C-alpha cells in the first residue's frame, strides 16, 4: 500500500506542475560527480532555467501577449525544448533528481496540452481574469490563468507607497489586456463562456470593492483602471 501511495503522490505532484502557468519547482542539488557529467543534472538545471523564461508569455508594455501569432510561435518552439529534455538520460541519477526530470517533463507536456487541446487564451474568458481578492486554498491558484495576476488580499490597508506603486503598475495592464481578449477569444464552448463571464464579473466586483477600501491618499492607484471599470 505504501509504495502505491508514494506513486500516487508523485503522479499528483507532476500533475500540479503540468500547467503552462505552474508555480516554481525547486530542483534538488545533485552530487558533484553527477553535475559534471555530460547530459547530467547540471544540464537539466540549465534547461529548466531557460524553460521557465520560455514558458512565460512575451510582454509588450507590461501586457502579456496571448495573440494567435504569439501562441503559434511558442507552440512551434516547444518541441525543441522537449527534444533537449529527452536527450538527458536521468536513469542513473538518485531518485530525487529523477523526479525533477519528470516534473520538467510534466510541465512541458502541460504546455503542449494547452496548445493542442485547451487553448484557454482562445476559449476561456476567465483566463483573462487577473485580479483576485480571495486567497486560493492551494499553493497555485486552480484553473488556467494568464501571467501577471494581482492578489489584492496580500496588500495591507492603508497601502504603503511601495504596494500602491506595485498595484498601480499591475493594474495598468488590465484594460489593454481585456482589449486583447476581444480579439483572442474565438472559441465557442458555451459552458466555458458562461462560467468565464461570471469570472469576469467577479473581477469587476473585486475592483469595485477595492475602490471602497482606498483612502484618499491611495486613489492614485486607481486612476489607471477606474475609467475602464
Sequence spans of domains, the chain: 2-118, 123-222
Kindly report, residue by residue over 182-228, the tens digit of the pLDDT: 999 999 888 999 988 899 999 999 988 988 888 777 765 555 555 54
What pTM was computed for the model? Answer: 0.78
Q: How far apart, in whole angstroms, are the C-alpha atoms of residue 149 and residue 206?
A: 13
Kindly report, residue by residue over 51-97, the tens digit of the pLDDT: 999 999 999 989 999 999 999 999 999 999 999 999 999 999 999 99
H helices of the chain, in order, are 2-16, 32-36, 41-55, 68-86, 95-113, 120-123, 161-171, 174-184, 190-213
CB 110 within 8 A of CB 20: yes
| Residue that is written with C-alpha cell 542539488 in the block | 29
Instruction: Work out the pLDDT band at 164, boundaries 50, 70, 90.
Output: confident
Mean pLDDT of 30-41: 57
Amino acid at each position: 500500500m505504501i509504495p502505491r501511495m508514494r506513486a500516487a503522490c508523485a503522479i499528483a505532484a507532476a500533475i500540479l506542475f503540468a500547467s503552462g502557468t505552474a508555480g516554481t519547482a525547486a530542483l534538488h542539488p545533485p552530487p558533484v560527480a553527477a553535475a559534471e557529467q555530460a547530459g547530467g543534472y547540471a544540464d537539466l538545471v540549465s534547461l529548466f532555467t531557460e524553460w521557465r523564461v520560455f514558458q512565460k508569455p512575451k510582454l509588450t508594455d507590461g501586457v502579456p501577449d496571448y495573440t494567435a501569432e504569439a501562441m503559434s510561435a511558442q507552440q512551434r518552439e516547444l518541441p525543441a525544448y522537449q527534444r533537449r529534455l529527452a536527450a538527458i538520460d536521468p536513469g542513473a541519477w538518485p531518485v530525487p533528481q529523477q523526479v525533477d526530470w519528470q516534473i520538467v517533463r510534466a510541465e512541458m507536456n502541460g504546455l503542449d496540452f494547452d496548445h493542442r487541446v485547451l487553448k484557454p487564451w482562445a476559449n476561456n474568458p476567465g483566463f483573462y481574469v487577473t485580479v483576485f481578492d480571495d486567497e486560493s486554498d492551494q499553493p497555485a491558484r486552480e484553473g488556467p490563468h494568464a501571467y501577471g495576476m494581482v492578489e489584492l488580499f496580500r496588500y495591507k490597508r492603508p497601502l504603503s507607497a511601495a504596494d500602491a506603486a506595485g498595484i498601480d503598475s499591475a493594474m495598468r495592464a488590465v484594460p489593454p489586456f481585456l482589449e486583447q481578449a476581444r480579439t483572442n477569444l474565438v472559441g465557442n464552448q458555451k459552458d466555458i463562456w458562461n462560467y468565464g463571464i461570471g469570472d469576469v464579473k467577479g473581477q469587476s466586483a473585486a475592483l469595485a470593492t477595492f475602490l471602497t477600501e482606498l483612502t484618499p491618499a491611495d486613489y492614485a492607484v486607481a486612476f489607471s483602471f477606474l475609467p475602464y471599470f
